[in-house]
């Protein structure tokens, strides 16, 4: 069993991991940059060590500094959280070389799923449905064969960066006339953002839902898939609201989604927690998009809504730590059932009235919501100053109700209680979204904000 | 009749003493009352206090000034890693307590994962204290060495 875990992250996820480790009786080490001297994770951990200046590249992204911190504190394992080095193949490799247990997938898992084009090929091989498209990266934009192939796919189609996401290097093409120029600009943007102009092309599914499946796999070959999450409410490809289960998925589709996710994990011998992302059309047909080889921000949604026979509760971070220590997963996919409906709102320190501009600063007054079926994962406290150097997520508010309508009402009640002064937050924005008729009816696809919210502004 | 000159003499005399009131009677029986002004007496007594204060101040300034001249400077770690005072066991240490250090001089190495970073002194000074041991792990910006700065 792991004895001392170093958390190579900060903020709410570092707090989350420290809590899980403590409950398992494992000692914890928090790393922090100079800007995070007062961050909650440094207060909760058993030990803390300053690993660099505020800039992420010299602290949270500095592999030598983090490995050195492991050596200095005697940590025998590292949990990378999400973001930062969580999907950095080299970091996983260095940990292995230094005899430090990496709480996450293998470096091969990360590498294979890191390249979006390769990932699609592997998914196809595993029998997972993929979006019709061109499987090879575009080498020659002037290739005449290319024009033939894109006409076969049909319009609209989408150009995506192979090595990245978040909307960069992405272009939707509606007709043949604009194809060439869209391709060239997408390639250039991808080069600038990810260091590679490798792009791929696929059919564009209009008003799709973003549906994903949480998986867990141990070192003994057991794979488990959980009920799907619907993460369609996004702004610029960043998720804002997630829920489980997906309102339009029936039992049959749920089983197919789970089976597809498991097949992919078995194909690459995946280990630890991960998420298989699909794109779903209005008819419920789903296609593989990509796999995230890390624990995700929205993992609490699955924890809140999953009921496991014999075990009852679910703690995905604890499961990760146990898996990393060589333990077997103590349940199967069949043991999992859905207990109600869960929703998560990502609360960011941003001003929704000013195009979501970041709003760092000191939290003057803080009142956290609570009560039956309400969970808050956060690192903020009254008097805490949010630094300017990192992302703006300050809290995750998750609720679970016996059905979707109850969950929405509960979320609105909790959002009403949630008081933060001194900075601007997206709390009012979430209240607006949850009271939109379209959201209540479940008419939510990835263009939800443009369709229903921005029009009203 | 008391003349002005005589009056001035009495006034002068009064100012040199603590006497509050002075009654002068002339041979002719003329009485002149000289009373020290309250304001004046305050001023005079303050002056006396100040004089004693200045005296003690002069006495204490010297040792303080001596301490202020020697300012301290703390060199902190530029990295997380192992603090090394010399390149190897066979080599002498870069610094010892009492050594004179020049601005830009290498005073130690921090090693992490085979990456060696020089710790450079940004000032001229004398090593007053070495706060960490050779081979000890240090964190970023941890205080390493205290220098007593040379006079400018």
pLDDT in tens, A37-58: 999 999 999 999 999 999 999 9
Residue-number span of the structural domain to which A44 is assigned: 4-103
**CB contacts, 8 Å: A53 with chain B:** 140-141
A190 and A275 in a common domain: no
Q: Do B141 and A71 touch (CB under 8 A)?
A: no
The answer to whether residue B38 scores a pLDDT higher than 90 is: no
What is the rounded average pLDDT of the residues A199-217?
A: 93
Q: Residue B116: closest CA among chain A residues belongs to which residue? A: A64
Angle subtended by helix axes A63-73 and A89-97, to nearest 10:
30
B110, B132, B140: which to substitute to probe chain A, counting the most A Cβ within 10 Å? Answer: B140
**CB contacts, 8 Å: A68 with chain B:** 79-82, 112-113, 137
Asked whether residue A177 is domain-assigned, the answer is yes
CB contact A99 to B (< 8 Å): no
Name the residue facing A49 among B79, B115, B139 (closest C-beta).
Answer: B139
Mean pLDDT, chain B, rounded, equals: 79
A240 and A364 in a common domain: yes
Share of chain A above pLDDT 90, in %: 83
Name the residue facing B115 among A34, A64, A94 (closest C-beta).
Answer: A64
pLDDT of residue A417: 98
**pTM score:** 0.81
| Residue among A188, A186, A212, A189 at smallest CA distance from A201 | A186
Of A188, A203, A218, the one marking the end of a domain is A203
pLDDT of residue B59: 40
Of A181, A203, A225, the one marking the end of a domain is A203
Name the residue facing B112 among A33, A34, A65 (closest C-beta).
Answer: A65
The answer to whether residue B39 scores a pLDDT higher than 70 is: no
Name the residue facing B139 among A51, A53, A67 (closest C-beta).
Answer: A51
**CB contacts, 8 Å: B141 with chain A:** 34, 50, 53
d(CA A427, CA A348): 8
| Residue among A396, A425, A398 at smallest CA distance from A410 | A398
What is the rounded average pLDDT of the residues B68-77?
A: 86
A382 and A277 in a common domain: yes
The answer to whether residue B65 scores a pLDDT higher than 50 is: no
The DSSP bridge partners found for residue A77 are A5, A101
Q: Do A49 and B80 touch (CB under 8 A)?
A: yes
pLDDT of residue B1: 61
**Candidate from A198-207, A367-376, B59-68 with smallest mean pLDDT:** B59-68
Report the 10 Å Cβ neighbour count for A378: 19
The answer to whether residue B89 scores a pLDDT higher than 70 is: yes
CA within 13 Å, CB half, A357:
3
> Is the confidence metric ipTM above 0.85 for this complex?
no
The answer to whether residue B44 scores a pLDDT higher than 60 is: no
The DSSP bridge partners found for residue B106 are B120
d(CA B77, CA B118): 10
Asked whether residue A120 is domain-assigned, the answer is no
Confidence of residue A359 (pLDDT cuts 50, 70, 90): very high
Confidence of residue B37 (pLDDT cuts 50, 70, 90): low
Name the residue with higher pLDDT: A202 or A12. A12
In this structure, what token pair is assigned to residue A314? 């679910």
The CATH number given to whatever domain includes residue A399 is 3.30.470.20
Pick the CATH number of B72-149 from 3.40.50.300, 2.40.50.100, 1.10.1370.40, 3.40.50.800: 2.40.50.100
**Candidate from A152-156, A170-174, A341-345, A395-399 with smallest mean pLDDT:** A152-156
Domain residue ranges of chain B, discontinuous segments joined by +: 4-68, 72-149
Q: Residue A66: closest CA among chain B residues belongs to which residue? A: B80
Q: How many angstroms away from the CA of A209 is the closest CA of chain B?
A: 45
Name the residue with higher pLDDT: B23 or A10. A10
**Candidate from A95-109, A191-205, A351-365, B56-70 with smallest mean pLDDT:** B56-70
Name the phi and psi angles at A212, rounded to 5.
Answer: -130, 155
pLDDT of residue B47: 52
The secondary structure of A2-32 as a DSSP string is --EEEE---HHHHHHHHHHHHHTT-EEEEEE
In this structure, what token pair is assigned to residue A321? 């730590």
Residue A233: enclosing H or E segment and its boundaries?
strand A229-235
Mean pLDDT, chain A, rounded, equals: 94
Instruction: Tell me how many domains chain A contains.
Output: 3
d(CA A173, CA A151): 12
A429 and A310 in a common domain: yes
Contact A206, A444 (CB under 8 A): no
Name the residue with higher pLDDT: A244 or B26. A244
What is the rounded average pLDDT of the residues A337-353?
A: 97
B76, B111, B113, B135: which to substitute to probe chain A, counting the most A Cβ within 10 Å? Answer: B113
A9 and A85 in a common domain: yes
Residue B46: enclosing H or E segment and its boundaries?
helix B38-69
Name the residue with higher pLDDT: A368 or A283. A368
Of A178, A203, A228, the one marking the end of a domain is A203
What is the rounded average pLDDT of the residues B68-80?
A: 87
CB contact A96 to B (< 8 Å): no
Confidence of residue B7 (pLDDT cuts 50, 70, 90): confident
A263 and A161 in a common domain: no
Distances (CA, A) of A442 to A233, A287, A341, A351, B22: 11, 20, 13, 26, 105
Confidence of residue A83 (pLDDT cuts 50, 70, 90): very high
**Candidate from A91-100, A113-122, B34-43, B95-104 with smallest mean pLDDT:** B34-43
Q: How many angstroms away from the CA of B114 is the closest CA of chain A?
A: 9
A405 and A356 in a common domain: yes
Residues of A annotated as part of the active site: 294
In this structure, what token pair is assigned to residue A441? 């009816």
Q: Residue A48: closest CA among chain B residues belongs to which residue? A: B139
The CATH number given to whatever domain includes residue A164 is 3.30.1490.20
pLDDT of residue B27: 76
């Amino acid at each position: 069993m792991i004895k001392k875990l170093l958390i190579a992250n900060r903020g709410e996820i570092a707090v989350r991991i420290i809590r899980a480790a403590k409950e398992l009786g494992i000692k914890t080490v928090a790393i922090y940059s100079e800007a995070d001297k007062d961050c909650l994770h440094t207060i909760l951990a058993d030990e803390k060590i300053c690993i660099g200046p505020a800039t992420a590249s010299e602290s949270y992204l500095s592999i030598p500094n983090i490995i050195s911190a492991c050596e200095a504190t005697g940590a025998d394992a590292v949990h990378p959280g999400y973001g930062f080095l969580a999907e950095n193949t080299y970091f996983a490799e260095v940990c292995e070389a230094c005899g430090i247990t990496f709480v996450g997938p293998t470096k091969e898992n990360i590498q294979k799923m890191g390249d979006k084009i390769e990932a699609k090929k592997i998914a196809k091989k595993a029998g997972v449905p993929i979006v019709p498209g061109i499987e090879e990266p575009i080498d020659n934009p002037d290739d005449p064969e290319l024009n033939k192939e894109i006409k076969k796919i049909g319009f609209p189609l989408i150009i995506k960066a192979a090595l990245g996401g978040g909307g960069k290097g992405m272009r939707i093409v509606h007709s043949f006339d604009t194809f060439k120029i869209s391709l060239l600009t997408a390639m250039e943007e991808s080069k600038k953002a990810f260091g590679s102009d490798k792009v791929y092309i696929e059919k564009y599914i209009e008003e799709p839902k973003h549906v994903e499946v949480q998986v867990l796999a141990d070192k003994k070959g057991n794979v488990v898939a959980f009920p799907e999450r619907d993460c369609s409410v996004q702004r610029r490809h960043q998720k804002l609201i997630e829920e489980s289960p997906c309102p339009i998925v029936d039992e049959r589709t749920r089983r197919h989604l789970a089976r597809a996710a498991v097949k992919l994990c078995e194909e690459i011998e995946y280990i630890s927690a991960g998420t298989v992302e699909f794109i779903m059309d209005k008819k419920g047909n789903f296609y593989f998009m990509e796999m995230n080889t890390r624990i995700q921000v929205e993992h609490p949604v699955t924890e809140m809504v999953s009921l496991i026979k014999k075990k009852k509760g679910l703690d995905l971070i604890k499961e990760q730590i146990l898996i990393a220590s060589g333990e077997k997963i103590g349940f199967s996919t069949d043991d999992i059932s859905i207990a109600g409906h869960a929703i998560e709102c990502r609360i960011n320190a941003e001003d929704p009235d000013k195009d979501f501009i970041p709003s760092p600063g000191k939290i003057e007054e803080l009142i956290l919501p609570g009560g039956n079926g309400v969970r808050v994962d956060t690192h903020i406290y009254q008097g805490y100053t949010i630094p300017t150097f990192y992302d703006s997520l300050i809290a995750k508010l998750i609720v679970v109700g016996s059905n979707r309508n109850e969950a929405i009402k509960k979320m609105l009640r909790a959002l009403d209680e949630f008081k933060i002064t001194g900075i601007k937050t997206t709390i009012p924005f979430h209240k607006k979204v949850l009271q939109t008729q379209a959201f209540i009816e479940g008419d939510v696809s990835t263009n939800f904000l443009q369709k229903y919210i921005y029009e009203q502004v | 009749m008391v003349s002005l000159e005589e009056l001035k003499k009495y006034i002068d005399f009064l100012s040199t003493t603590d006497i509050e009131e002075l009654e002068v009677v002339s041979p002719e029986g003329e009485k002149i009352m000289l009373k020290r002004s309250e304001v004046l007496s305050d001023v005079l007594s303050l002056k006396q206090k100040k004089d004693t204060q200045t005296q003690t101040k002069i006495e204490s300034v010297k040792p303080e000034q001596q301490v202020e001249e020697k300012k301290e400077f703390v060199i902190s770690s530029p990295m997380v890693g192992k603090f090394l005072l010399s390149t190897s066991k066979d080599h002498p240490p870069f610094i010892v307590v009492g050594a004179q250090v020049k601005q830009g001089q290498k005073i130690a190495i921090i090693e992490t994962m085979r990456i060696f970073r020089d710790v450079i002194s940004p000032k001229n000074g004398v090593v007053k204290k070495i706060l960490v041991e050779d081979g000890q792990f240090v964190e970023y910006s941890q205080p390493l060495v205290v220098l007593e700065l040379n006079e400018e």
